[in-house]
Amino acid sequence: MNQFGKVAVLMGGASTEREVSLMSGAGVLNALLSKGVDAHAFDPAERDLSDLKREGFERCFVALHGRLGEGGAVQGALEVLGIPYTGSGVMASSISMDKVMTKRIWLSEGIPTPRYQVLRQGAYDRRQVIEVPDTLGLPVIVKPAHEGSSLGVTKVVGYSGMTEAVASAGKLDSDILCEQCIEGDEVTCPVLGTGDGAKALPVIRIVAPEGKYDYQNKYFTDTTQYLVPCGLPPGEEEAIQALVLKAYRVLGCRGWGRVDVMIDGKTRQPYLLEINTSPGMTSHSLVPKSAWAAGINYEELCVSLLAHAALDVGASA
């Protein structure tokens, strides 16, 4: 597929999700090569991004994860270099990486998301930490405000666990998000496309061991079940897809993304947790599973995403 020119698969990087990114990037690279694309691995942790321009790369497939890969900085550098890239642009990437800012925008648009409280480093004391459940109830989910892959996430079931949970999240981020825990079905819904042309893929229902969908169970075990068709009650999948599309569009996302959702087991109200603008592409990842259910195989998915590489400023590819 010479129409793409020389393609860099950005993988690895210096974020906390480097290991997962290397797995995603390897999968994407092999898929593109199998389709005849002139694709090459490129690790920004080991090489300067300016090498992309110097070595004649014409497009980038962003398989980076975490703040230093999908948080807008790399996207901004690619804008300056004038090299079209997959996924959302600078602003949407930056906002989506910030769970608190994402929530604020969603709430302003009437999109349901769990109630929350933010603890900013240096601006809270032990008493304020312990009192968080007074506002949000128990259990409470405590997480870094700018991380992915469930890193630093703790489900706190009693007041005594708050201090340790906040300390754990604080090792990864200066801002800590404390969130109302929604008990019920855990689902995720990928989106492909941009603007009015964006389409939601089939919803996947996630059934993790002991309900613990953490970093280990996401990437390194085979005991988590991914149900697609999701088996939700009639009408729920369509309602979630419509809600996810709205959430994706109001943030200005493009190319692709994935929104994680919790459904209250009693009321059946869906609550959006966060959006991922550079989803995983490993053997355990959810976008490829959903795409397969929609009749799109892994190689076709990778080529399609690459075909829609674009820039915020200048012509789209």
3-state secondary structure (DSSP) of residue 53? helix
Please confirm, yes or no, whether 17 is among the known catalytic residues: yes
Check 280, 285, 290, 312 and give the catalytic one: 280
Please confirm, yes or no, whether 260 is among the known catalytic residues: yes
Alpha helices in the chain (DSSP H): 18-34, 50-54, 67-70, 73-81, 90-97, 99-108, 126-130, 132-136, 162-170, 215-219, 236-250, 286-293, 298-307
Residue 93 CB partners (closer than 8 Å, separation 6+)? 70, 71, 72, 75, 87, 277, 278
Q: Report the distance separating Cα 68 and Cα 281, nearest Å.
A: 17
Please confirm, yes or no, whether 236 is among the known catalytic residues: no
Check 217, 276, 278, 285 and give the catalytic one: 276
Q: What is the DSSP letter of 227?
A: E
Check 21, 149, 278, 290 and give the catalytic one: 149
Check 13, 15, 17, 79 and give the catalytic one: 17
Torsion of CA 166, 169, 171, 175, to 10 degrees: -90
Check 85, 213, 219, 271 and give the catalytic one: 219
Q: Which two tokens stand for residue 186?
A: 């855990």
3-state secondary structure (DSSP) of residue 10? strand
3-state secondary structure (DSSP) of residue 59? strand
Check 274, 278, 298, 312 and give the catalytic one: 274
The C-alpha angle with vertex 265 and arms to 109 and 111, in degrees rounded to 5, equals 5
> At residue 166, what is the residue type?
V
Check 18, 260, 298, 312 and give the catalytic one: 260
Check 18, 205, 254, 258 and give the catalytic one: 258
Q: Report the distance separating Cα 93 and Cα 87, nearest Å.
A: 8
Please confirm, yes or no, whether 274 is among the known catalytic residues: yes
Please confirm, yes or no, whether 85 is among the known catalytic residues: no
Edge-to-edge strands of the sheet including 6-10?
38-42, 6-10, 59-62
Q: Report the distance separating Cα 145 and Cα 210, nearest Å.
A: 25
Please confirm, yes or no, whether 161 is among the known catalytic residues: no
Residues acting as catalytic residues: 17, 149, 219, 258, 260, 274, 276, 280
